[in-house]
Amino acid sequence: MTTPTLGPTLGLTDAAVTTATVDALVVGTMSGTEGPQLLPGSEEVEAAFDGALTGLLALLGARGKVDEVIKIPTRGAISAPLLVATGLGAVKGQPTSEQVRRAAGAASRALSGTSHAITTLSRIDLAAAVEGTVLGSYAFTSYRSHSNQAQKNDKPLGQMDLSVPAADDGGARQSLARALAIVESVTAARDLVNTPPNDLYPASFADRAVTMARSAGLHTEVLDEQALRREGYGGILGVGGGSSRPPRLVRLHYAPAEPRAKVALIGKGVTFDTGGISIKPAAKMEEMTMDMAGAAAVIVTAVLAARLELPVEVIATVPMAENMPSATAYRPGDVLTMYGGTTVEVLNTDAEGRLILADALVRAAQDAPDYLIDAATLTGAQVVALGNRTPGIMGTPQFRDRVTAISQEVGENGWAMPLPEHLRSDLDSKLADIANVASHRWGGMLAAGVFLSEFVPDDIPWAHLDIAGPAYNAGSPWGYTGKGGTGVPVRTLAAVLADIAERG
């Protein structure tokens, strides 16, 4: 079950799209004041329809809206038997990369089962067209048995040709290769998130991380339960203590020759979160298989940094544990001694992410990184505050805002959130240094961030990404996001590393 999910074959082409031997041609539409309009750059397609294409689309109800996909049989107007018009919404000036990415994703989903298509979206933004196409056609089928009819139904698009002015152009080839590396990482993160918790548990997750990292030449280190005990990782051991499958701490190290900076990545790796003794309700508990999405993201990002040979040293520190109720589970009322010595009173065993992250943050800071970034499906309060598509980004204000701006640029759309100092006293414990939850639920996302900040040295720029909602799509597919793991925040982390490589 470890075969990665492969996307469609992609190729650059500068041949005419109207005469290409393909099953479908994808063009973009945008919403104008009087119905849909074809995106600039596909004029020859309109001409091949004798100027009637936009009118036909309007007749079929097209408005050029986001996530709108209209299919027309071409009846010989062009060589492809099917034309697929995918909406970008209202376009002011140039379309944004995210508009192209989403439209490419929606088209790609609508083309599942098709062998071979060609698109003109790549003429507007090649990288975005590649990303949208591959991510939109993603389907996690490892657990479909071969006899199952459903496997045929989620067969993805086979091949997409990307129309560009010159197929042998070095710049185009480079952006294709870079976009492919990024989406492979996003896909790998989705695969990890979608793997069910009976197969993905701390030891097996650690094995997979090590295999991926070694193949890219990273140094790896795995602390098992004995090593964790020897070194005093009380948070990870406490949370993992209720499971028959013991916890791990994985460390992945990418060390290029002349790094511009050193970045520590930390990701929450709770392979299943029952809540522990403070057990969760049964409804939707199965979704807590995604509680390792932060871990998956930082693992694939460290590997990606090596693949792209970024001049940035990256050390991923990834705590992995299964949060289970049992006779050996930690309890409300327990006091844990974290790595580094801080004591924490556990008032709720379901606030487990911050406990394993605290250990990991302290360990990561020992490496004296220039930047510290953590990603975690940390709080239901994040989903209440910002919904399913908007990560909450906290941390030291300047670096938080830099990461937020980059998250916006790549279309993951994180939003900056404060860490109000007054929330700290809500975490005062009657017997330990700090409690893991407040006595009320207000500002729960911020309170979790304030708890983490206690374990981050004041002089290290830090960003904390709460991705509880955006990491997993339990609803309908949209744009390039199908059901299940989304791969958020891999593209943000990758772009932050690239930005640090460039600007320090």
Residues that bind ligand BES (CB under 6 A): 273, 291, 348, 350-353, 377-381, 383, 437, 444, 468
Q: Nearer to Zn ion by C-beta: 5 or 348?
A: 348
DSSP result, 40-56: TT-HHHHHHTTT-HHHH
- Residue closer to ligand BES, measured from CB, 152 or 440: 440
Find the residue with minimal CB distance to ligand BES: 380
Taking the C-alpha atoms of residue 162 and residue 181, their distance in angstroms, rounded to an integer, is: 17
Nearer to Zn ion, 270 or 495 (CB): 270
Q: Is position 319 an interface residue for Zn ion (rule: CB under 5 A)?
A: no
**How far is 242 from 278, CA to CA, in rounded Å?**
12
Q: Choose from Zn ion, ligand BES, Mn ion, none: what does 74 bind? Cβ within 5-8 Å by kind.
A: none
466 binds Mn ion (CB under 5 A): no
Cβ closest to Mn ion, residue 449 vs residue 479: 449
| Token digits of residue 305 | 């940094």
Stretch near Zn ion under the rule CB under 5 A, chosen from 222-230, 237-245, 288-296, 456-464: 288-296
CA distance 392 to 46: 43
Q: Which is nearer to ligand BES, 132 or 353 (CB)?
A: 353
Told to judge if 354 belongs to the known catalytic residues of this protein, a careful annotator would answer yes
Q: Is 334 a binder of Mn ion (CB under 5 A)?
A: no
DSSP three-state, residue 431: coil
Q: For the CB of residue 41, give the shortest distance to Mn ion in the complex, in Å.
A: 48
- How many chain residues interact with Mn ion (CB under 5 A)? 3
Q: State the binding partner of 314 from Zn ion, ligand BES, Mn ion, none, CB within 5 to 8 A by kind.
A: none
- Asked if residue 273 binds Zn ion (CB under 5 A), the reply is yes
The helix or strand, by DSSP H or E, that contains position 269, with its residue range, turns out to be strand 269-273
d(CA 68, CA 115): 22
DSSP of 465-501, one letter per residue?
EE-TTTTEE-S--BTTB-SEE--TTHHHHHHHHHHHH
Question: What is the pattern of x (binds Mn ion, CB under 5 A) and - over residues 255-274?
Answer: ------------------x-
Instruction: Tell me the residue ranges of DSSP E strands in 333-376.
Output: 335-337, 343-345, 371-376
Q: Is cis: bond before 489, omega within 30 of 0?
A: yes
Give the amino acid at 89. G
Of residues 49 and 330, the one with the C-beta less far from ligand BES:
330
Q: Taking the complex as a whole, how short is the minimal distance between the CB of residue 193 and ligand BES, in angstroms?
A: 11
Q: Does 353 bind Zn ion (CB under 5 A)?
A: yes
Q: How many Cα atoms occupy the beta-carbon half-sphere of 383 within 13 Å? A: 13
Contact indicator for 24, 111 with CB cutoff of 8 Å: yes
Q: Which of 178, 280, 307, 331 is catalytic?
A: 280
The catalytic residue among 102, 109, 354, 402 is 354
Burial of residue 209 (number of CB atoms within 10 Å: 0-12, 13-18, 19+): buried
Interhelix angle 490-503/293-307, rounded to 10 degrees, is: 40
Task: Tell me how far, at minimum, the Cβ of 288 lies from Mn ion, in Å.
Answer: 7
429: buried, middle or exposed (CB in 10 Å: 19+, 13-18, 0-12)? middle
| Number of residues this chain uses to bind Zn ion (CB under 5 A) | 4
As measured in angstroms, the least distance from the Cβ of 194 to ligand BES is: 15
CB of 296 to ligand BES, least distance (A): 14
Read off the tokens for 424.
Answer: 């700290």
User: CB of 429: closest distance to ligand BES in angstroms?
Assistant: 15
Would you name the residues annotated as active-site residues? 280, 354
- Interface with Zn ion by CB under 5 A: which residues? 270, 273, 291, 353
Interacting residues toward Mn ion by CB under 5 A: 273, 350, 352
